Amino acid sequence: MDSPQAVQLGPRKKRPRQMGTSGASIPHDVRFRDLVLFILEKKMGTTRRAFLMDLARRKGFRVENELSDSVTHIVAENNTGSDVLEWLQLQNIKASSELELLDISWLTECMRAGKPVEMMGRHQLVVRRNSSLSSVPGSQNGPAAVQRISQYACQRRTTLNNYNQVFTDAFDILAENDEFRENEVSCLAFMRAASVLKSLPFPIISMKDTEGIPCLGDKTKCVIEGIIEDGESSEAKAVLNDERYKSFKLFTSVFGVGLKTAEKWFRMGYRTLSEIKSDKSLKFTQMQKAGFLYYEDLVSRVSRPEAEAVSMLVKEAVVAFLPDALVTMTGGFRRGKMTGHDVDFLITSPEATEDEEQQLLHKVTDFWRQQGLLLYCDIIESTFEKFKQPSRKVDALDHFQKCFLILKLHHGRVHREKSSEQEGKSWKAIRVDLVMCPYDRWAFALLGWTGSRQFERDLRRYATHERKMMLDNHALYDKTKRMFLEAESEEEIFAHLGLDYIEPWERNA
Ligand code: CTP
Ligand code: MN
Ligand code: MN
């Protein structure tokens, strides 16, 4: 991590003055006319500031001596975003939303490049978002330039570019441990904290950086503080060494094993999978049998080329029975992830009759069975009702017809850069989820199955608490208007909810 403190440009010690006046130097040609810089003296000092101003000017940047309306970029050193905003307020200057507040690291990189470099999250001192993202009812509005980070993941853009992985990894572990111990409140707190940190466009370097960030309580702040001090979390480290956590993690890594079964096996004193497999008195479900049988393949994650190969397989089979069907890869892969624990697909058809719709998953899986590709298959029939109001639950199960599968993917179907064949085995077992939905519910199902889980939870929470609407994977209901709101695309659903559209790859909350 490049901390701003590590960056040093030029002398900090006093130097003999080269020019008559400190600020107004010899005119240099301005090469970059779109930018007008102002360098903050606070915590930087006069000499260093003068040196940096001169250097920037020599490189063709326009640098102002005084802060004026024409300034577009304020550069500061050893200041947080709130420090700079405080300073601006003291000067009685209202920071317009156009004004960029940047760390010295941005200027350093510009100087090195000899031209303006792209402003990345790590350079930005305040989190700036579209104004509508800040219009959370009930939230107090800070200074004009600071857009409050929403407590709802559906009002944040969370790409896979995570600047705070040290913290979020620890929170993910702590949340999982709470899940295993059924500490729901604490689990949710850690999940929300991880989620909000994943959305930050900068790394947290000091506790000051956490100011104004929602979803961080005393407990989570304590963990952050520990990591800032020691570079790792003692709490997360303790969990990783905990017997119960280790066992639950191992047991639930078997397809078909949930918390209840893990708990049972843990209580029976089991700590390894081989102990469990060799206990002849234990009864396993079909799912668990398949889970043990294909364990190695299923724990090794699905790569994107493998997911693409599965996609071909699914599309070929689906279109053979319903030529007009639409097949969309959903889940983590739609959010841009490079690997997944499974591959998820949503299927719909504009023309199919109800019967044809209900038959499709049966036909497709029968077809694979005949080809010897179906290693496991569990079809759940639809319980979907057209006029039923969306569920109130945040983690509601959906009612569409679906199937949980394990498919045999032949290596020949995967375009791989390097061949790393396992000896003697020319295929890999892959977990695949297929969901079939009525054509008019496609947008809702797509939104619901794209995830992430945290993003979905917060969409529903937002709909309920901020809009008096009910959203689930099937429909959106407006309680004030007492009517269902229809949608043909995800964009329309966001619009109904009064939310800015968040792209799938920005939903990695
Ligand atoms: N989902 C759902 N109902 C279920 C299962 C899943 O609505 N019964 C949704 C969840 O919102 C989830 C998405 O479908 O985000 C995909 O689920 P899953 O495959 O479990 O998660 P991914 O995000 O795809 O993660 P991974 O890469 O580990 O598969
Ligand atoms: Mn998935
Ligand atoms: Mn899935």
Mean pLDDT of each 10-residue bin along the chain, 509 residues long: 42 41 63 94 91 94 92 92 86 80 92 90 68 39 59 97 97 98 97 98 95 96 98 98 98 98 98 97 98 98 97 98 98 97 98 97 98 98 93 84 98 70 83 98 98 98 97 97 98 98 97
State in Å: Cα 456 to ligand 1 middle.
Answer: 10
- Please give the CATH topology (third level) of the domain spanning 448-506: Beta Polymerase; domain 3 (3.30.210)
- The pLDDT, as a whole number, for residue 420 is 57
Ligand 1 centre to CA of 452 (Å) is: 7
Query: 457 CA to middle of ligand 1, Å?
Result: 12
350, 343, 485, 478 alpha-carbon torsion, rounded to 10°? 160
Name residues contacting ligand 1 (CB within 6 A).
331-332, 337, 340-342, 344, 397-398, 448-449, 451-453, 456, 473
What single letter denotes the amino acid at residue 367? F
Q: Which atom of ligand 1 is nearest to the CA of 332?
A: 24
Angle at 96 between CA 95 and CA 99, to 5 degrees: 85
Q: Is the peptide bond before 150 cis (omega within 30 degrees of 0)?
A: no
* pLDDT at 313 (0 to 100): 98
Active site residues: 342, 344, 433
Amino acid residing at 131:
S
CA torsion angle 222 195 136 100 (round to 10)? 90
C-alpha of residue 425 to centroid of ligand 3, in Å? 25
Give the number of whichever ligand sits closest to the CA of residue 432.
3
Ligand 1 atom nearest 398 alpha carbon: 3
Q: What pLDDT score does 419 carry?
A: 54
Options 3.40.50.10190, 3.30.750.24, 1.20.120.920, 1.10.230.10; which CATH number does 4-148 get? 3.40.50.10190
* CA separation for the pair 110, 304 (Å, rounded): 36
Q: In this structure, what DSSP letter does residue 479 have?
A: T
What's phi and psi for 486, nearest 5 deg?
A: -85, 160
* Pairing assessment for the beta strands 343-348 and 401-410 based on DSSP bridges: unpaired
Grouping H, G, I as helix, E, B as strand and the rest as coil, residue 433 is strand
Residue 452: what are its φ and ψ, rounded to 5°? Answer: -65, 170
Fold match, 155-239 / 242-293: yes
CA of 353 relative to ligand 2 center, distance in Å: 28
Q: Residue 96's pLDDT is what?
A: 76
Q: What is the pLDDT of residue 17?
A: 41
Q: Which residues surround ligand 2, an ion (CB under 5 A)?
A: 331-332, 340, 342, 344
Tell me which fold the domain 155-239 belongs to: DNA polymerase; domain 1 (1.10.150)
* Two tokens, residue 302: 């699905």
DSSP string, 317-338: HHHHH-TT-EEEE-HHHHTT-S
- Atom index in ligand 1 nearest the CA of residue 456 equals 11
Q: Taking the domains of the chain in order of start, what are their residue ranges?
A: 4-148, 155-239, 242-293, 302-439, 448-506
Counting from 1 in the atom list of ligand 1, the atom nearest the Cα of 450 is 13
Contact 360, 435 (CB under 8 A): no
CB 102 within 8 A of CB 76: yes
CA distance 80 to 197: 17
Bridge partners of residue 10, in order along the sequence: none
Mutate which of 304, 343, 453 for ligand 1? The one with the most ligand atoms within 8 Å of its CB, which is 453
Residue 244 in contact with residue 266, Cβ under 8 Å?
Answer: yes
> Domain 302-439, what architecture?
2-Layer Sandwich (3.30)
Selecting from 1.10.150.20, 1.10.150.120, 3.40.50.12780, 3.30.1520.10, what CATH number does the domain 242-293 have? Answer: 1.10.150.20
| Amino acid letter, 259 | L
